[in-house]
Amino acid sequence: MTRDGCACVEQSVPSLFLLAMPPRLLCHIDMNSYFASVEQQANPHLRGRPVGVCAYLHRYGCVIAASVEAKQQGMKVGMSMEEARTRVPSAVFVQNEPSKYRATTAKILRIFRELTPTVEVYSIDEAFLDLTGWCRDEAEAAFLVTRVKHRIATEVGEWLRCSAGIAPTRFLAKFASDRQKPNGLVILNHQNLDECLARAELEDACGIGPRIRRRLERLKIYSLLDLKQAPVGNLMRSFGKYGFYLWAKVNGIECERLQDGEPVPKTIGHSYCVPMSVHREKKVAAVLARLTERAGRRLRRHGLFAGAIVVTVGLRDQGTYRTECLRFCEPVADPWSLGDAASRTLHVCWKGEPVDFLAVTLVDLSRPTAQTRLPLIPTIASGLRTTDRLPALGRSLDVIRDKYGEQSVVFGRMLPLLDGDDHAADRIGFRKVELDTVAEVSDRGDAEIAWFPI
Amino acid sequence: MSYEKIEQPVEVLVAFRGERPEPMVFKWGNRYYQVQKVNLVHAERLGREKVYYFSVSDEANAYRLSFRTESLIWRLEEWCAFT
């Protein structure tokens, strides 16, 4: 078959595929400048001003969200506070407050879940809603989304705005919601898809970064419409399976279902950009212990065990990172095993140099099995470790902390942090938000003011 | 912008409108402050204790009040003003 013939056959595939499938209605809702908007909602004197929400209020602290006004003046997410202040001298910077954003997200998700039970929380500020079966057509879906926007404004906060995209697939719904910001609503269907793709850059699509773009350009594919019309066989020869996914996504073929439950995490970790004072005050090991303990708490909350622990240290003077991994002889979850392992791993990769970054990641996660490796020579010490005593003691500690707070029980290695400083405090994650943390407030009975109208 | 962490107990007059509480007036030091608007309410858990935060404002200032459900204490957490 000629190359043209091959292309012709391949082009007929999506239309046949789509005819065979029942039409789906997916909606992607993305909150605009979310953290900054929540801060402006809480403090009306920040409204209309350029606001940057920072990880830390330090000149090297990273801007994790910028308000619409700040973005218009050139502030970008990822800039250091110093750089953002140079770019926008009138900007106001505030420290991020994770509990505020999580509680607000919980209220917004509750509105979404009244529309459809199939809601995938993609990150703390965006979600996919499967409206298939709940709306007859895109117009009805658009009406529903407009009502959602109104409810968010009246029931959560009038300063909160969102962009929405309605399309037959997840990818196209997300692509559509990115087309019009802020406060947009875009419907993508097979009638206007080509027109919309032709206007978009390759990197506008989720999953295409600079490297993939360069590789696509080498294949003479310069726009998303070119990608849609490219022969899928050629793409698969260049990119393998990923080539098919790229082609399928822009052709409106669904490759992944909505995950309306909480996915099991593959890794659990915490990191911290270490200020110089931590090194001066010899608190590096204590900060790592706190990071490990927080990762351990999340591990146990998920009912998982870790097969290995990875510690990363950023060296301030050399500008490099050192990473060490320690594999456990059997998966563990108790705080003692995790803490000891983190401490030992730290001292393998760190010899007392000034550090500017610390991270601990629990990997190779697994569900508990009934199998237990017994010690060959049973001693009291080893008996303590291999029987259920340490895990049971760890669970008891978790119960105490759940009841009396995280600081009610601390390990000796964390004592240097007890003087009131907030090193390695709670931080917000952008992707794959854990539903239990979002629902932390909502699921334990705050219904009495959950619908607090403004 | 002036910002200050206060973290002091305050006396609060609250109205229950329908099913929801709304701080109306609070007394900090020897002055009364009238709340004009409740802008955002969120909660967090500190162990078993649940703390509700009310971000409120008047014409000139923004405040954050907290209510602790175990100890039933109101506090003024923050104060913010634009000059």
Domain ranges in chain B? 2-81
Q: List strands edge to edge, sheet with B20-28.
A: B11-17, B20-28, B31-34
Among A43, A57, A100, the strongest candidate for a mutation testing the B interface, having the largest count of B CBs within 10 A, is A43
Residue A353: per-residue pLDDT? 86
Please check whether residue A214 lies inside any domain of the structure.
Answer: no
Interatomic CA distance for residues A247 and A251, integer angstroms: 6
For chain A, say whether B20 makes contact (Cβ under 8 Å). Answer: yes
pLDDT at A387: 55
- The one catalytic residue in A69, A120, A126, A434 is A126
A25 in the Ramachandran plot: left (φ > 0), alpha (ψ -120 to 50) or beta?
A: beta
Look at strands A92-95 and A51-54 and give their pairing: parallel
The Cα-based distances of A445 to A60, A110, A121, A438, A441 in angstroms read: 39, 13, 21, 14, 8
Answer whether B39 sits within 8 Å of A43, measured CB to CB. Answer: yes
How far apart CA A287 and CA A416 sit, in angstroms, is 9
Cβ–Cβ < 8 Å for A201, A225? no
Residue by residue, pLDDT tens for chain A (454 residues) are: 334 434 443 444 444 454 455 678 999 999 999 999 999 999 999 999 999 999 878 777 889 999 999 999 999 998 989 999 999 999 999 988 888 999 999 999 999 999 899 999 988 999 999 999 898 889 999 999 999 999 999 999 999 999 999 999 999 999 999 999 888 999 998 888 889 898 888 888 888 889 999 999 998 899 899 999 999 898 999 899 989 998 998 888 887 777 767 778 889 998 888 887 777 778 888 899 999 999 999 999 888 999 999 999 988 888 889 999 999 988 889 899 999 999 999 988 888 888 888 999 999 999 887 776 666 665 555 445 555 678 888 888 999 988 888 888 888 888 777 766 666 666 666 555 554 444 444 333 333 222 222 2
**Residue A338 maps to a domain:** yes
Q: From the centroid of its chain, how far is CA A307?
A: 23
Sheet holding A63-66, edge to edge: A63-66, A51-54, A92-95
DSSP, collapsed to helix, strand or coil, labels residue A192 as: coil
Does the complex come out with an ipTM higher than 0.90? yes
Per-position b or e across B46-65, b if 16+ CB within 10 A of its CB: eeeebbbbbbbbeeebbbbb
Contact B1 A92 (CB under 8 A): yes
A427 class by beta-carbon count within 10 Å (0-12 exposed, 13-18 middle, 19+ buried): middle
**Contact at CB, B47 and A45, closer than 8 angstroms:** no
Going from the C-alpha of A440 to that of each of A166, A303, B20, B55, the distances in angstroms are 29, 17, 20, 20
Give the separation between CA A413 and CA A409, rounded to whole angstroms.
12
Beta strands in A108-202 (DSSP E): 119-123, 126-130, 162-167, 185-187
The answer to whether residue A39 is catalytic is no
A139 burial level (CB within 10 Å; 0-12, 13-18, 19+): exposed
Quote the pLDDT of residue A354: 87
Interchain proximity B46–A405, CB inside 8 Å? yes
- Which residues of chain B have a CB within 8 Å of the CB of A92? 1
A274 vs B55 pLDDT, higher one: B55
Q: What amino acid occupies position A161?
A: R
Q: What is the CATH number of the domain that holds A308?
A: 3.30.1490.100
pLDDT at A2: 39
| Residue A319, both tokens | 């500008």
3-class DSSP state of A17: helix
Nearest Cα neighbor of A343 from A379, A314, A313 is A313
Bridge-partner residues for B80, per DSSP? B3, B62
| Residues A161 and A36: beta-carbon distance below 8 Å | no
Q: Single out the residue of A118, A110, A97 nearest to residue A156, CA to CA.
A: A110
Range(s) of the domain holding residue A320 = 268-418
Q: Give the residue among A211, A259, A262, A268 at the shortest CA–CA distance from A239.
A: A211
Q: How many domains is chain A built from?
A: 1
A182 upstream amide cis, omega within 30 of 0: yes
Interface of A with B in 322-381 (CB under 8 A): none
pLDDT computed for residue A22 by the predictor: 64
* Mean pLDDT value of segment B12-36: 91
Q: Is the C-alpha dihedral spanning A251, A182, A151, A117 positive or negative?
A: positive
Residue B27 CB neighbour total at 10 angstroms = 14
Q: Indicate whether A382 belongs to any domain.
A: yes
Q: Is residue A104, in this structure, part of any structural domain at all? A: no
Contact A172, A193 (CB under 8 A): yes
Identify the residue whose tokens are 């607000």. Answer: A104
Chain A residues closer than 8 Å to B48 by CB: 402-404
Q: Is residue A137 included in any domain, yes or no?
A: no
Residue of B nearest to A102 (CA): B42
A323 with A349: CB under 8 angstroms?
yes
Q: Which residues of A touch B19 (CB under 8 A)?
A: 448-449
Report the pLDDT value the prediction gives residue A257, as an integer from 0 to 100: 73
